[in-house]
Structure 1
């Protein structure tokens, strides 16, 4: 074993690193992390290593040392330390797509504040309450009416396009029906690139209604993790996470934990009638937590609520052929085709 390999597997640390493996030099454990799987459960990459090493472990992804945490107490602490012990960190792929230096992007805190205020100005609670609800219901009604004329369609593609067209029209006046360019598809491709690692590997690229929504968000943890970067050494459970390391909080590992949710892979909206606030405070983070939680959280829940309301009261849904769940590493649902019919027909 060469000296460089020894150094790779044993990074410098002013204390004891969390257990884990750094994998191979440069590539680390990236291939295993990106490996596609067909399960709604927490990503096998995390589940396997958490079982072996515990809820906090180290690894290396796309050439960067990373500590991955499924510990609810530690994750809650991390979100409260924004700007003190940790900072927002955007993957290197974000910088590469925008042709910018990663350190400069991560260091410009005003960018996040500007974007957050922009989103809240268009989709914040007050706007939703005062004028967004009727516009959203009209848009969904229009889309559902159009879908009812189709023999069948792929659900994910249509709903994704519907959400993009509505938000883009509200943000910058984009009207899909008058455009010859498919911006929705381009945006989807951009997001796939953003959520990937910058490494060239082939194949990598809203009382009952609220319960429905909560359960969907609990099960559907789309992002593989929420990223931060340490601003100084952090002590946890006798281990040290070195300054400058990436830190990944895994929502699925919390929201699919059988110790917090009975039969976690079952879709059971009624579980939310008895779940205490103590459980959700640290084990339910579909939109992140702390000061930098997602600015679009309220809009997302309202959109889901209105969509379900229109669908249940005015239409019936028939499955044409089933799809499958794919994590690679983001959560996706591929090939689920349905037919929508108006109830008066």
Structure 2
């Protein structure tokens, strides 16, 4: 019996060794990008989720870019991945969608948005239809003609409310404010009419968005799924209620969908629920973190706060309106404000990156990315490149004035993606930040109470929150309105 048992053990060892060898040396009709796929199945997933505690590049990316270069291979949650951190490669990959690559979503995203959700399968004419819809409601013309005064009113009301409180956790506070604003535009959501808070459920859902997809009680992903189901249930109730009273109009996006459902076969109640959820995500996801980071950075840099104050007080002095509300011309004249926002976006790298899947072998820079591999386009590596951005960890809005920022903007600055999949909420995010800055620096004083430590895990978060005291200024002058306690 012993020789038979020894033979079985030997065969198992040979099979496992061969399996590991094939895992680490996958077939390729060319030369694979440098790197390693790590352990079978696990890959380098554990290393990927090791947090960074600064605004610097995620340690996982930084170490591998230094070791292998700007295009390398790895494996995450059992999938081989090519990571692209080069401006030319990134530009090429994003332009190849619909040709050699296709859109790809992480397993966790697919599960959270729903396997059959239109938000994760919007391709072809459906994607074009949805993008047109978003741009019509949150794009340039809508911001100019409809949303600017609404956002300004929200900014003034919010700051006034915050100033009456001992302190506010800035990230959570702006999350609540913007959720209510966007959900009102989408489906006239009234939080007072519900026994449960949709905003809290949605905000908690976002906290676990990029996590290991283990649906086990106690895990981040399990909590995320519970909050997703809660939000979806509430959205279904809203859609059903509106369908039961078709004669009542609200003037929101849901009205438009219900009307379109009469003539377009692909629009169903389930489709509308998924799209409402997806639109909430697309227009809301980046705003709270970006907003909090902008205010954290300008509070830590009094010279920046003062130049912003000078710019916005000049706008008030030159205002053509009797009530000093912002006009579109005022908004477009906030040049230093946009420099500040761009610099915060560059350093914050709110988005992890864009995922694509190679539908055929992709050859680039002498390497081959095999068909079926996932490609992760990482803009943060470009934003922290010292050759393009000297002293990249230094918050320096004035760098954007040099050469008009033309060198930076071409292919080296993509905070909201690029091409047909660029974030549809990008311009809304900037408008929100700019209008809050305008109201804040001209009328209020911000004092840090506690928190503000950043962590990347892998998305940017504020580990202990960021608590500030907002005080209305009684008199003019007196130096900077920012105090960092």
Distance verdict in 2 for CA 1:204–1:134, change over 3 Å: same
Note the aligned Cα RMSD (angstroms).
2.2
SS where residue 19 of structure 1 aligns? coil
Runs of 5+ consecutive residues of structure 1 not aligned to the other structure: none
Query: Distance between the aligned counterparts of 2:136 and 2:469, measured in 1?
Result: 36
**Deviation per residue, 1:234-290 (Å, 9 max, x gap):** 112211001121111111111111111011111111110015423321110001011
Q: Shift in Å at residue 75 of structure 1?
A: 0.6
Note if 1:258 corresponds to 2:417. no
CA contact (8 A) 2:100 2:360 kept: yes
Indicate the larger mover: 197-206 or 136-145.
Answer: 197-206
Kindly indicate which of the two structures has a greater share of residues assigned to helix: 2
CA contact (8 A) 1:213 1:304 kept: yes
Match of 2:466 in 1: 336
Match of 2:331 in 1: none
Distance verdict in 2 for CA 1:325–1:289, change over 3 Å: same
Note if 1:49 corresponds to 2:64. yes
From 389, 404, 408, give the equivalent of 1:279: 408
CA contact (8 A) 1:19 1:58 kept: yes
Distance verdict in 2 for CA 1:119–1:103, change over 3 Å: closer
Indicate the larger mover: 263-272 or 206-215.
Answer: 206-215
From 391, 396, 399, give the equivalent of 1:268: 396
Runs of 5+ consecutive residues of structure 2 not aligned to the other structure: 1-15, 222-333, 476-485
Note if 1:78 corresponds to 2:93. yes
Distance verdict in 2 for CA 1:160–1:215, change over 3 Å: same
Indicate the larger mover: 303-312 or 271-280.
Answer: 271-280
SS where residue 410 of structure 2 aligns? helix
Q: Shift in Å at residue 31 of structure 1?
A: 0.7
Match of 1:322 in 2: 451
**Deviation per residue, 1:320-341 (Å, 9 max, x gap):** 1132111111111232110001
Indicate the larger mover: 274-283 or 15-24.
Answer: 274-283
Between structure 1 and structure 2, the one with the greater Rg is 2
SS where residue 25 of structure 1 aligns? coil
Match of 1:182 in 2: 197
Match of 2:370 in 1: 242
**Deviation per residue, 1:139-181 (Å, 9 max, x gap):** 1111111111111121111112222111111111113354432
| TM-score (normalizing by structure 2) | 0.67
Q: Shift in Å at residue 101 of structure 1?
A: 6.1
Distance verdict in 2 for CA 1:135–1:105, change over 3 Å: closer
Match of 1:312 in 2: 441
Query: Distance between the aligned counterparts of 1:135 and 1:281, measured in 2?
Result: 32
Match of 2:420 in 1: 291
Match of 1:38 in 2: 53
CA contact (8 A) 2:351 2:459 kept: yes
Q: Shift in Å at residue 204 of structure 1?
A: 4.9
Kindly indicate which of the two structures has a greater share of residues assigned to strand: 1
Indicate the larger mover: 110-119 or 44-53.
Answer: 110-119
Q: Shift in Å at residue 200 of structure 1?
A: 5.9
Q: Shift in Å at residue 4 of structure 1?
A: 1.3
CA contact (8 A) 1:217 1:286 kept: yes
